[in-house]
Amino acid sequence: MKLLITAIIALLASVAIALYAKDDPGYIMINYGSWTMEASLVLVISAGIVGSIILYYSIKLLGGTLKSPLRILAWRGKRQESKARMANAQGMIDLAEGNWKKAEQRLSQNAQAGELPVLNFLGAARAAQKLGAKDRRDHYLKMARDIAPRDSIAVSLTQAELLMANGQLGEAAESLKLLRQFSPKNETILKLLAKLYTKMGEWNKLIELLPALRKNHVLTDFDLDRLEQMAHAELLKSVSHDVSLLNSAWHRTPRRIRKQESVLLEYSHALVGHGEGHQSEELIYQVLNNHWNDELCYLYGIIKGNNLGRQYKNAEKLLRKQRTNPVLLLTLGRLALRSGDLNNAHSYLEASMHADPQPETCKELAALMEKIGEQEKAIEYYRAGLSMSVALPAQAQQLSLPTSNEVIESRSGILLAAQPQPQQA
């Protein structure tokens, strides 16, 4: 198209020159040796214009011909780069869809051809782990670290995540501890450490990490409070076999945490198991007086405090807010029975049976009947309790505490699934 337009312009220019010089076209003679050429000036100018145009396009065509191999190579390179980008994009889609084999193949084969090869190698490492190929996973991680040394934190974080998911908790812990030295305020590192310590049951380390989590606003206050309570409760559970270790851990627990129900329950359960329940009697009453909890109330009736009369009176004070609570009525019945207040013991236990019949209440009533010599009624209560235990086994079970195996659902979208390893006695 450009050549055609140029030719038309040259033709028009020649015609214009010819029309302008038709009355006096001029004269040119060229003499060289025995050779002589004569022509009009207009013809020479027109021929020069046409010749210049032909020469220009000839040179351009020749230059294009010489450059064509380079252009072909550049075109092929761009085409291969485009195909690599498409393959990498499809590999990421395969990774998201769980097509691990295809994802690894596409991402690893075209990793270095993409714009961000480190991401492709990290994706290939994730896919390889899902396929159970640890060696290939580690190879991709090494390639990612070698090709992008400036992104070593991102590579090491991915490595730690994959090690955790694969159950290699010790290696993950070493990797994260090293990372924290380089970036102590990194939120992702702190989150992974919290999750790792929870999975490992390293409650002391998790408690030590809590100030950093709070200072850097890694979790919401709600999630941090729950995590802190769980850590202290699980720590108490882990040392419950030794009363001295239990009390030592309890004294290291902040006062505001001691009043949390889950923490106090773990401590009190352990103390009752060692016959030392009186140590938590007063604190349980204070908590119940401010915030009701059925299991704490149940424990309060089992605990043998240092002052039975005070314990009984404190329980009666709780009736002001929980007049018809069957657990409190059972607790009062037990305390009255131990205090020798048999009439009130019978009234409390009967009221508890009326509110919510339970095998334990029948057992206490049977013991009371035996104490006052009513053997037939005692047998009736024993039979009633036995029939309840068979017919309603779920109701006969005590309330259970949330364990560390449960998933803590975070308002900020974080999941901390705890699977602590068994403690060595």
The band of 403, judged by pLDDT with boundaries at 50, 70 and 90, is very low
Q: What integer pLDDT is reported at residue 121 of this predicted model? A: 83
Q: Decide which of 10 and 419 is more confident.
A: 10
Q: What integer pLDDT is reported at residue 73 of this predicted model? A: 57
Q: Which residues are within 8 A (CB) of 207 and not within 5 positions of it... i.e. 6 or more apart?
A: 228, 231, 232, 235
pLDDT 10s digits, 275-322: 888 888 988 999 999 889 999 999 999 998 889 999 999 999 999 989
Residue 259 has pLDDT above 60, yes or no: yes
Q: What integer pLDDT is reported at residue 122 of this predicted model? A: 86
pLDDT 10s digits, 94-152: 888 888 888 888 888 776 666 678 888 888 888 898 888 888 988 888 888 888 777 78
Residue 333 has pLDDT above 80, yes or no: yes
Average pLDDT, stretch 181-199? 91
Q: What integer pLDDT is reported at residue 38 of this predicted model? A: 65
Q: What integer pLDDT is reported at residue 82 of this predicted model? A: 63
Residue 228 has pLDDT above 60, yes or no: yes
Q: What integer pLDDT is reported at residue 317 of this predicted model? A: 94
Residue 193 has pLDDT above 90, yes or no: yes
Question: How far apart, in whole angstroms, are the C-alpha atoms of residue 315 and residue 329?
Answer: 9
Average pLDDT, stretch 180-188? 89
Q: Decide which of 388 and 84 is more confident.
A: 388
Average pLDDT, stretch 388-414? 46
Average pLDDT, stretch 385-414? 50
Question: How far apart, in whole angstroms, are the C-alpha atoms of residue 148 and residue 98?
Answer: 26
The band of 53, judged by pLDDT with boundaries at 50, 70 and 90, is confident
The three-state DSSP-derived secondary structure of the chain is CHHHHHHHHHHHHHHHHHHHCCCCCCCEEEEECCEEEEECHHHHHHHHHHHHHHHHHHHHHHHHHHHHHHHHHHHHHHHHHHHHHHHHHHHHHHHHHCCHHHHHHHHHHCHHHCCCHHHHHHHHHHHHHHCCCHHHHHHHHHHHHHHCHHHHHHHHHHHHHHHHHCCCHHHHHHHHHHHHHHCCCCHHHHHHHHHHHHHHCCHHHHHHHHHHHHHCCCCCHHHHHHHHHHHHHHHHHHCCCCHHHHHHHHHHCCHHHHCCHHHHHHHHHHHHHCCCHHHHHHHHHHHHHHCCCHHHHHHHHHCCCCCHHHHHHHHHHHHHCCCCCHHHHHHHHHHHHHHCCHHHHHHHHHHHHHHCCCHHHHHHHHHHHHHCCCHHHHHHHHHHHHHHHHHCHHHHCCCCCCCCCCEEECCCCCEEECCCCCCCC
Question: How far apart, in whole angstroms, are the C-alpha atoms of residue 169 and residue 160?
Answer: 9
Percent of the chain surpassing pLDDT 70: 73
Residue 402 has pLDDT above 90, yes or no: no
Question: Would you kindly state where each structural domain of the chain is located, as residue ranges?
Answer: 1-62
CB 417 within 8 A of CB 199: yes
Q: What integer pLDDT is reported at residue 149 of this predicted model? A: 77
Residue 10 has pLDDT above 70, yes or no: no
Average pLDDT, stretch 29-35? 70
Q: What integer pLDDT is reported at residue 116 of this predicted model? A: 73
Residue 3 has pLDDT above 80, yes or no: no
Q: How many CB atoms lie within 10 A of CB 150?
A: 7
